[in-house]
Amino acid sequence: MSEIIKTSLKDLSDEELSELLERCGVAAFRADQLRHWLYQKWAADFSEMKNLPAALLGKLQAGYRVFTLQAEETLTAEDGCVKWLSRLSDGNTVETVLIRAPERATVCISTQVGCQVRCVFCASGSKGLIRNLTTAEIIDQVLLPCRYLEAKINNIVVMGMGEPLHNLDMLSRALDNLNAPDKFALGARHITISTSGIVPGIRKLADLHRPWNLAISLHATSDQQRAQIIPPDYRYPLEEIISACQYHRQQTNRMPTLEYALLKSFNDSPEDAARLAALAARLHAKINLIPCNPGPSRYQAPALAQCRAFLDRLIRAGAQATLRTRKGDAIKAACGQLRSRQRTDN
Ligand code: SAH
Ligand code: SF4
């Protein structure tokens, strides 16, 4: 018989947590103590919460969980980057990556198990969508590297498995908790959400008026070219994506980043570079080039010299652009690959 899955405390709103503690018969200040353990001490178990009464912990433990992830596999790269495959309570698995630079630590988090967009070059989408992650499962991916480093991470990029704007309700609740000064207290400007260009989602995100950064996975500079790598169900016309980005900018004052996976002999010509630079200029956007990681499709990365030449063309055309070449970034771009190799899902 399977064990009943307990509710995570991080899936409760502040009001629900207060009501729960009231029902447990403890004073209101216990909620602050509990929040401190959850979000500032990154507790993974009730047994860590030393200043809370044992009777209260016993009552909470009967119906609630502190942490939702069971790290199943931890891969460490030479440059200190770490990739986790975590087991969720229903047996599904999810990937999280820690990217380390001398001055900062960035965590790349997933929002779904699988993805229904199913871009042809991406391992995350190769088997479609299994389910959305809960708010607590999203938050716990940020706390996992904090526990590992014994230090708070500095940036969050929502660039792991899944299309974040297909799970915006859970994601926005998670990010609000991560921003909240009495919880994880990470500034909103240290958070970037990457989308494949889900127009209604970009507009809904804009209407939340949160100063989170937005990255658009463009990968192609015409609708016809994009149609070859993104299936039709969740693909939107480029002009609609551009106007949604402009709306997002009006509402939030944040300039987008354009992500562009370099796919050999597909989108790496001088004409592609010229069109990409022109699009970026219209959007006042920076460009982030990602050489293709070997994935489920026949696409490959151009040689490094070709990637650099593409970057130079963008820069000569006046764009602000970077090329992702470091190892940790390579594991990050390969999000979804660990899980698909393992086939560990139920
Ligand atoms: N679903 C969101 C966020 C997750 S993917 C999105 O698509 O934006 C993060 C980035 O990695 C996206 O730009 C995605 O297109 C890119 N990506 C996925 N598979 C890749 C691969 N095999 N090589 C290079 N980039 C890849
Ligand atoms: Fe989904 Fe993003 Fe992968 Fe496309 S690239 S299948 S949107 S996770």
- 3-class state of residue 76 by DSSP: strand
Q: What percent of the chain has pLDDT over 90?
A: 88
**What is the Å distance from ligand 1's center to 21 Cα?**
42
Higher pLDDT, 215 or 343: 215
Q: Residue 304: phi, psi to the nearest 5?
A: -55, -40
Pocket test residue of 193, 194, 195, 241 for ligand 1, highest count of atoms within 8 A of CB: 194
Query: pLDDT tens digits, residue range 77-131?
Result: 988 899 999 999 999 999 999 999 999 999 999 999 999 999 999 999 898 999 9
Please determine, for residue 338, whether its predicted confidence score (pLDDT) is greater than 60. no
- The model's confidence at residue 5, banded by pLDDT at 50, 70 and 90, is confident
The answer to whether the CB of 202 falls within 8 A of the CB of 244 is: yes
Query: pLDDT tens digits, residue range 11-42?
Result: 999 999 999 999 999 999 999 999 999 999 99
The whole-number pLDDT of residue 109 equals 98
The CATH number that domain 7-65 falls under is 1.10.150.530
Nearest CA to ligand 1 atom 20: 122
- The model's confidence at residue 345, banded by pLDDT at 50, 70 and 90, is very low
Q: Tell which residue, 15, 186, 41, has the closest CA to residue 52.
A: 41
Q: DSSP secondary structure string, 83-96? A: EEEEE-TTS-EEEE
Which atom of ligand 2 is least distant from the CA of 230? 4
Higher pLDDT, 91 or 341: 91
**CATH topology assigned to domain 79-341:** TIM Barrel (3.20.20)
Nearest CA to ligand 1 atom 1: 163
- The model's confidence at residue 135, banded by pLDDT at 50, 70 and 90, is very high
Let me know if 165 is exposed, middle or buried by CB neighbors in 10 A (0-12, 13-18, 19+). buried
Average pLDDT over residues 235-251: 98
For the chain, give every residue range classified as CATH 3.20.20.70: 79-341
The whole-number pLDDT of residue 343 equals 39
Which ligand has the shortest distance to the CA of 294?
A: 1
**What is the Å distance from ligand 2's center to 167 Cα?**
13
Ordered alpha helix ranges (H), 86-150: 135-149
Please determine, for residue 2, whether its predicted confidence score (pLDDT) is greater than 60. no
Within its chain, how far is the Cα of 229 from the centroid? 21
Rounded to two decimals, what is the model's pTM? 0.94
Average pLDDT over residues 54-83: 95
Q: Which residues participate in catalysis according to the annotation? A: 95, 335
Pocket test residue of 95, 133, 159 for ligand 1, highest count of atoms within 8 A of CB: 159
The whole-number pLDDT of residue 294 equals 86
Query: pLDDT tens digits, residue range 248-274?
Result: 999 999 999 999 999 999 999 999 999
Query: pLDDT tens digits, residue range 272-319?
Result: 999 999 999 999 999 999 999 988 889 999 999 999 999 999 999 999
Q: Verify whether ligand 1 is closer than 6 Å to residue 92 (CB atom).
A: no
Within its chain, how far is the Cα of 176 from the centroid? 14
The answer to whether the CB of 76 falls within 8 A of the CB of 48 is: no
Nearest CA to ligand 1 atom 16: 333
The whole-number pLDDT of residue 1 equals 41
What's the mean per-residue pLDDT of the chain?
A: 93
Nearest CA to ligand 1 atom 12: 217
Which ligand has the shortest distance to the CA of 115?
A: 2
**What is the Å distance from ligand 1's center to 294 Cα?**
12
Please determine, for residue 337, whether its predicted confidence score (pLDDT) is greater than 70. no
Half-sphere exposure of residue 200, counting CA atoms within 13 Å on the CB side? 5
**What is the Å distance from ligand 2's center to 113 Cα?**
11
The whole-number pLDDT of residue 79 equals 85
Half-sphere exposure of residue 251, counting CA atoms within 13 Å on the CB side? 18
**What is the Å distance from ligand 1's center to 188 Cα?**
22
* Helix or strand holding residue 59 (H, E): helix 54-63
Q: Tell which residue, 47, 19, 42, has the closest CA to residue 31.
A: 19
Q: Verify whether ligand 1 is closer than 6 Å to residue 256 (CB atom).
A: no
For the chain, give every residue range classified as CATH 1.10.150.530: 7-65
Q: Verify whether ligand 1 is closer than 6 Å to residue 197 (CB atom).
A: no
The whole-number pLDDT of residue 45 equals 97
